[in-house]
Amino acid sequence: MLSSEPHIINLPKILDERGNLSFIEEENHIPFKIERTYWIYDVPGGESRGGHAYSTLQEFIVALSGSFDVVLHDGIKEYRFQLNRSYYGLYIPKMMWRSLENFSTNSLALILADQHFNEGDYIRDFETFKKLKDEK
Ligand code: TYD
């Protein structure tokens, strides 16, 4: 799978009667080195997160608990992924408009990113995003 396309990555799953275990190794299960981890939680019903793209940042999102939808747009087409298990996640390349929607009660989104936080990498206007995509 080209890493310029968003795609689901299945993670190792160690089944155990005592409780299951999954894990992520940078540059092994995901195609980048992890520079930052953040998580989204306590999302009130009906709220959505995101609504922007990143110029250069790549991310990997896992629903550690509960479920939510990740809606992506590459400037031409929309992709929609429902994340609802902790043993797989969604790889999102740079230059993808994204929003996270339909959070279930008590859902927990874990996000791994390949860069430190940098507001300068955000594109927060969809028309600007589409123009930048057209120039590529
Ligand atoms: P933002 O990325 O817009 O949230 P989301 O896309 O998940 O809805 O970030 C919201 C605020 O949090 C914004 O003021 C920037 C800040 N922030 C950090 O300081 N560090 C981080 O790692 C992230 C992701 C956000």
How sure is the predictor about 2, in pLDDT bands with cuts at 50, 70 and 90? low
Report which of 44, 32, 61 is spatially closest to residue 105, judged by C-alpha positions: 44
63 φ/ψ angles, rounded to the nearest 5 degrees: -85, 95
pLDDT at 136: 74
Q: pLDDT tens across 74-132, in order?
A: 999 999 999 999 999 999 999 999 999 999 999 999 999 999 999 999 999 999 999 99
> What's the full length of the chain, in residues?
136
| Residue nearest atom 2 of ligand 1, based on CA coordinates | 50
pLDDT at 109: 98
- What is the three-class DSSP state of 49? strand
The rounded distance, in Å, linking the Cα atoms of 4 and 21 is 29
Report which of 94, 125, 84, 120 is spatially closest to residue 31, judged by C-alpha positions: 94
Marked catalytic residue, from 29, 52, 73, 116: 52
Ligand 1 atom with minimal separation from the 49 CA: 8
Q: pLDDT tens across 47-56, in order?
A: 999 999 999 9
